[in-house]
Structure 1
Amino acid sequence: MAPPYLVLGKAVKAWGLKGELKVQPYADSITITAGSSTVSLKGTGGDLVEYAVERVRQAGQAWILQLRGVQTIEQAERLVGCELVILRSAAPSLPEGTYYQADLIGLLVVTEEGRELGRIVEILETGANDVYVVHGEGVEWLLPATKEVVKKIDLARAIMLVHLLEGMIEAEAV
C-alpha cells in the first residue's frame, strides 16, 4: 500500500532575502505544486507542518517556492532539508504505466533471471529518457528508463523487473 503522502521534493536552500525556498523536485512537473493551495514540509523527525503556497516558479531544474508565513531568509533556512509533501489523494491521477518518481526511489531492481542488482537511489532526467541510478553491493549501475529495459513495475511489492541488454552491465560487475 502506498504511503498517504507523496514526496515532491526537498528544500535545498533559502532563496533570496524574503523567505523563498529553492526546492529540488522529485516530481516530474511543477504544476503539481502550482495547482495545490497547501503543501506540508516534513522534517527529519517526521513531523509535518502545513503551509499555504503563495507562489511557485521554476528556476532551471529547481523550483522556487514562497510559503505563507515564511518571510525572512532566517525562517527559510530553518526549513532547509525538509521534504515537500502533499496528500496522495490531492495529487493528480497518472495515466496507466506512468509513476511518480518518489514512488520509484527505493524499488529493488531485479533482472528477468532473478538476480538482484540493487535499489533505485536517484532518477536522472536526460533529453531522450530518464536514467535510473541503481546502487548494489559496492557497485552503481545506470539503467535507461525504456520499455526495452523496464519490463514491469510492481509498487505493491516494491520491485522493478528489468531486461538487461547485451553489454549494458559488465559481466564481472554482475
Structure 2
Amino acid sequence: MSEDLSSWDVLVGRVKGHWDKASLRIVPFSDVANRFAAGAKWCAEIEGKRTLLEVKSSRAKDGGWICDCGLPSTEAAQSLTGAQLFIHKSMRPPTEEGEFYLDELFGMRVVSESGQELGEIEEVLETPAHDIYVTPRAMIPAVPDFIVSTDWEARVVTVRDVEG
C-alpha cells in the first residue's frame, strides 16, 4: 500500500538535475541541518505526479546537496529534474513559545476590536519592514500597533480599529 502524499505540502527544495550515476542535485529552500541527510524523506512532485523518496546518502556541494535516493538509473534521476520537494508539516522542527510558521495563519479569522469581520487570512506578504496579513477586506501590518491578540485555539486574530 502506498503512502498518501497529498498532505505533504511544505516546500523544502527543488531538483536541479542529476549528478553522477542516479544521484539528484538539490537546491535547498530549507536550512534545517538534517533535511537532506541520510534517512530524510521527501515527496517529489513533477507534472502533477508525486513520488516518495528517501535519502540513502548525501553531501553538500556548491550551496546545494547531492543526494542518492536509491533511484534505479540515470534516466530515473533525469526524469525528476525540476521536481519540487515537499515534506509533511509534522516533519518541521517544533516552534518556540510565541513563534509560529506563516502557513499556520492561513484561514484564521480576522476581527477588529469593535467586532467587525475582516475575513480570513488568505496570504502573508513578506516585506523588509514587516509581514502583512491579507484578507478579502483588509491588509494588516503584522506589528504590535495593529495586532491586538492571536487566539490559536479559536483561530482568531484581533486587530485594532483604524479610522479610514
TM-score by length of 2: 0.61
> Which of these residues, 154, 159, 168, is aligned with residue 156 of structure 2?
159
Question: 1:104 & 1:22 partners in 2: Cα distance?
Answer: 27
The answer to whether the Cα contact below 8 Å between 1:7 and 1:102 also exists between their aligned partners in 2 is: no
Unaligned runs of 5+ in 2: 1-6
- When residues 86 and 57 of structure 1 are mapped into structure 2, their CA distance, relative to the original with a 3 A threshold, is farther
1:85 equivalent in structure 2:
87
Question: 1:92 & 1:130 partners in 2: Cα distance?
Answer: 22
1:75 equivalent in structure 2:
80
1:133 equivalent in structure 2:
134
The structural deviation recorded for 1:143 is 1.3
Unaligned runs of 5+ in 1: 168-174
What number of residue pairs does the alignment pair up?
Answer: 143
Question: 1:120 & 1:39 partners in 2: Cα distance?
Answer: 30
The answer to whether the Cα contact below 8 Å between 1:20 and 1:73 also exists between their aligned partners in 2 is: no
Q: State yes or no: 1:51 paired with 2:57.
A: no
The answer to whether the Cα contact below 8 Å between 2:114 and 2:161 also exists between their aligned partners in 1 is: no
**Percent pairwise identity:** 23
Question: 1:147 & 1:55 partners in 2: Cα distance?
Answer: 42
The answer to whether the Cα contact below 8 Å between 1:8 and 1:102 also exists between their aligned partners in 2 is: no
2:11 equivalent in structure 1:
9
TM-score by length of 1: 0.58
Higher strand share: 1
The answer to whether the Cα contact below 8 Å between 2:150 and 2:157 also exists between their aligned partners in 1 is: yes
The answer to whether the Cα contact below 8 Å between 1:129 and 1:144 also exists between their aligned partners in 2 is: yes
The structural deviation recorded for 1:101 is 1.0
Secondary structure of the residue aligned to 1:166 is coil
Secondary structure of the residue aligned to 2:81 is helix
